[in-house]
A and B are shown apart, each in its own frame.
Chain A
Amino acid sequence: MKGMKIGDFILIGMIVVIAGGLFLYSQLIQLDGEGQKVVIEVDGKVMKIFDLPQPEAIEYKVQIDQDDYNLVQIEGNRVRVVEATCPEQVDVHAGWISKPGEMLVCLPHKLIIQIAGEQISDDEVDVKTF
Chain B
Amino acid sequence: MSRYSQVAYIGILVALALVLQLFENMIPMPSGLIPGVKIGLANIITLIAIIYLGFKKALLVVLLRTFMGAFLSGRFYVFMYSGSGALLSVLLMGYAYYRYQKYLSIQGISILGAVGHNVGQILVASFVINTDLIIFNYLPLLMVSAIFTGFFIGLVVQLMKKPLDSTLLGKFSQG
**26 A–B pairs (Cβ distance < 8 Å), ordered by A:** A3-B106, A4-B105, A4-B107, A5-B103, A6-B103, A7-B104, A8-B105, A10-B103, A11-B112, A15-B144, A15-B146, A16-B144, A18-B143, A43-B130, A44-B130, A90-B36, A94-B31, A94-B35, A97-B32, A103-B133, A103-B134, A103-B138, A107-B77, A107-B125, A107-B128, A112-B129
A20 lies within 8 A of chain B by Cβ = yes
* A121 within 8 Å of B (CB atoms): yes
**Is B135 close to A, CB under 8 A?**
yes
Minimal beta-carbon separation of A3 from chain B (angstroms): 5
Number of contact residues on B: which range applies? 35 or more
In the complex the two chains form, is B139's CB within 8 Å of A8's CB? no
CB within 8 Å of A: which residues of B? 31-32, 35-36, 75, 77, 81, 100, 102-108, 111-112, 115, 125, 128-141, 143-144, 146-147, 155, 158
Main SS at interface, chain B: helix
Tally A-B pairs: CB < 8 A: 118
Given contacts A22-B140, A41-B131, A112-B134, 13 further A-B contacts (CB under 8 A): A7-B103, A8-B107, A8-B111, A10-B103, A11-B104, A12-B147, A15-B111, A19-B139, A25-B136, A30-B133, A94-B35, A101-B133, A103-B138
B129 contact from A15, A19, A26, A107, Cβ within 8 A:
A107
Is there an interface contact between A108 and B77, defined as CB atoms closer than 8 Å?
yes
Main secondary structure of the interface of A (DSSP, over half): mixed
A76 within 8 A of B: no
Q: Are B105 and A111 in contact (CB under 8 A)?
A: no
In Å, the complex CA distance between A41 and B126 comes to 12
5 A-B pairs with the lowest CB-CB distances in the bound complex, closest first: A44-B130, A7-B103, A26-B136, A8-B108, A19-B140
Complex: A128 Cα to B133 Cα, angstroms? 19
**Considering only CB atoms and an 8 Å cut-off, how many residues of chain A contact the other chain?**
44
